[in-house]
């Protein structure tokens, strides 16, 4: 059953009024794959547009906070914490970006985590595209979710 379509096939926001509040946590991940040359050029995490990592972290936080403004059927929720981490892997020429979101409420925070990691990835791409437009953003996914009726861990 698709929860955002009513019996008349009309899009609808899910009614969460009868759900119980609980701590909701979700963690998402995305990968930025670079050529070896590009990775070596940006390994200091600086570009002509400024310091890459902190800019992407701030952008990811903003992305998570603004999720309900750009995903039409997401609830506007109170977010208690957002944690963005960006790690480099020099052996594989990539950045691994994660976004964890925590809330206490009646609906999950998976979309906020996915949006946060996506915006962080896009910000790095934007800052580095002058060096290489062939950067690959890949494997954006939920790693784990807890709270509410179901828990999930992506192995």
The per-residue pLDDT for range 78-114, each reduced to its tens digit, is: 999 999 999 999 999 999 999 999 999 999 999 999 9
According to the model, what pLDDT value does residue 151 have? 85
Ranges of residues in the chain whose predicted pLDDT is under 50:
none
| Cα–Cα distance for residue pair 67/5, rounded to 1 Å | 20
Please answer whether residues 71 and 115 qualify as being in contact, where contact means their C-beta atoms are separated by less than 8 angstroms: yes
User: Nearest 5 degrees, angle CA 11-CA 17-CA 22?
Assistant: 115
pTM value? Answer: 0.91
Q: Which CATH superfamily does the domain covering 22-145 fall into?
A: Molybdopterin cofactor biosynthesis C (MoaC) domain (3.30.70.640)
Active site residue 126: yes
Of the listed 83, 126, 132, 139, which one is catalytic? 126
């Amino acid at each position: 059953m698709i929860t955002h379509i009513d019996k008349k096939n009309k899009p609808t926001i899910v009614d969460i009024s009868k759900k119980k509040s609980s701590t909701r946590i979700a963690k998402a991940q995305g990968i930025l794959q670079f050529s070896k040359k590009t990775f070596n050029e940006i390994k200091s995490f600086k570009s002509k547009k400024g310091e890459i990592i902190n800019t992407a972290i701030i952008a990811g936080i903003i992305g998570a906070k603004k999720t309900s403004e750009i995903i039409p059927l997401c609830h506007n929720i109170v977010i208690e914490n957002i944690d963005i981490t960006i790690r480099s892997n020099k052996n594989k020429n990539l950045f691994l970006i994660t976004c964890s979101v925590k809330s206490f409420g009646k609906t999950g925070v998976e979309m906020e985590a996915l949006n946060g990691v996506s915006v962080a990835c896009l910000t790095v791409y934007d800052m580095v595209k002058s060096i290489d437009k062939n950067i690959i953003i890949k494997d954006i996914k939920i790693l784990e979710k807890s709270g509410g009726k179901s828990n999930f861990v992506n192995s």
